[in-house]
Structure 1
């Protein structure tokens, strides 16, 4: 994601600086903000952290890409992380486990993504896929049965299909299985699972018979290396994944992205100011520059209202 992060314009940076209070500029805040979770939300949080550090250089924002579920289970719920990036809503059982550990998650909607199915650029037989075809490739019944491209469509090559995607600890995995396949955890087992989206890109780039799926930002960063597959919507129209089609709702694999903040962590000035900065700059250009759809003004205001209410409940002015 370096290219994207370095690509933030001087005008954007100037506007961010101008938007911050004089008090914030002069503040001597220090400490650490610990973030885990979604690899999809990861580039947004990294970009926010880089801009935040220009104003608060004494704050260390550490961000781990662990997958949504992995972040919740291993870091956020036990209280080891202040924030969990998430490409799906928190599950009821995760929320219950968090509360048992004294962690009260506050949900903030931060962007929208267009989950993207990718193939090798030399793949000249697949340009558009229906949900039915995706289920045939990725569903649990495909394990050991759908091994060649020709098993899906006899007109496709009689060559072994190599599949790459996120692990079951990922929110991307959860969204894909629930929306595309139709039920939670219903996913073929014999594929190459990883929490490193760039690994999926590299694998598909070098293999003509490979397919994978990941967040839009990773595809946009590598669109010269892999090809995005159009997805057929309910009207039977093949729609290409993009910021525009996700914003309009035309693309059928559009999904919300979140951050979850441990309410207790807001007592720490470093965490409090980072979350404030994050929410105030959701429409500043950072989210779109990364490759996602920014939230609208109403959502931004709702996020900030929720944030301020949490501070009041904690007795923080």
Structure 2
């Protein structure tokens, strides 16, 4: 090998070493958790890194709300994305590990029921009908559409939904069946919403559910099913307006980030969360979610600045809760 090639190779190796070394020393914000919250947090992360001109790196993983809390309560992440509140066991795990957390609502999501575009008979669905489909007693028994409603055809019912590690699964079962994680087990489950999209789009008798943003991304392959509001008796399609007005119930819910209180001492984490709450409304709209009110973001920022640790929930989800009320509660640890 000639001298020029050796010199060039040495320079390349030196540059690579410097780059790896610089990345190792670069401040890092580690985030994991809900696939539902991921699009918002990813959008915030991109804008934050641009604003910091590459001086801070933010990583955002997708292991589901439950999987994210497992990592968070082991101290492996700074922030956990969650599409439902922290649960009793997770609270106990964090407490045992000495991890305190700040609970921050960041947006609303509308759980969206989707059907195959070839389905011409399903005009709306009630919560009672959904319970008949999804409750544990339906497993192996409710296999056709006419078993739910006699007006529906004698054709096969194929169900798709998030897996048990998903906060979306927890909230849906709480809202529809009446108890979190209470569900038939004979449905196609996946933490990857794209798998659910593909499943429903390929089966004329299919029905599934996931976050509103994923439905909007796949409107050409799916149809949303209007859900009858139990209080008004009116069938409502999921939309930004229906969530803001409170008409889309009971499948509208707040979504969260949880911040390790010890991580707030790191400037990059503190700055990232402040950036999130100050820019959350615009970026939430950009990725087709429903933002909180300006007053709610301001209140959340105030709670964060005061390091208000704990959860406004009692270790379980609540259906139909207002964010403004949550932020006023004294959190529990």
Q: Same fold (TM over 0.5)?
A: yes
Cα distance in 2 for residues equivalent to 1:79 and 1:193:
28
Moved over 6 A (4+): none
Offset of 1:58 from its aligned partner?
2.8
Counterparts of residues 287-302 of structure 1 (less than 5 Å): 287-302=284-299
Moved more, 148-157 or 221-230: 148-157
SS of residue paired to 1:136: helix
Per-residue CA shift, 1:139-165, capped at 9, x if unaligned? 111100011122222332322211110
Partner of 1:64: 61
Confirm or deny: 8 A CA contact 1:159 1:209 kept in the other structure.
Answer: yes
Confirm or deny: 8 A CA contact 2:84 2:170 kept in the other structure.
Answer: yes
Partner of 1:257: 255
Q: Is 1:98 matched up with 2:94?
A: yes
SS of residue paired to 1:310: coil
SS of residue paired to 1:135: helix
| Greater radius of gyration (CA) | 2
SS of residue paired to 1:271: helix
Confirm or deny: 8 A CA contact 1:30 1:270 kept in the other structure.
Answer: no
Per-residue CA shift, 1:278-300, capped at 9, x if unaligned? 111122x2101212111112211
Partner of 1:154: 150
Partner of 2:138: 142
Confirm or deny: 8 A CA contact 1:118 1:227 kept in the other structure.
Answer: yes
Offset of 1:302 from its aligned partner?
1.2
Per-residue CA shift, 1:211-235, capped at 9, x if unaligned? 1100111111111110000000122
Offset of 1:71 from its aligned partner?
0.9
Offset of 1:196 from its aligned partner?
0.5
Q: Which runs of 5+ in 1 are unaligned?
A: 1-28, 312-317
Offset of 1:53 from its aligned partner?
1.2
Partner of 1:14: none
Cα distance in 2 for residues equivalent to 1:91 and 1:192:
25
Confirm or deny: 8 A CA contact 1:217 1:292 kept in the other structure.
Answer: yes
SS of residue paired to 1:189: coil
Cα distance in 1 for residues equivalent to 2:181 and 2:143:
20
Partner of 2:274: 276
Confirm or deny: 8 A CA contact 1:111 1:295 kept in the other structure.
Answer: yes
Partner of 2:160: 164
Cα distance in 2 for residues equivalent to 1:192 and 1:257:
24
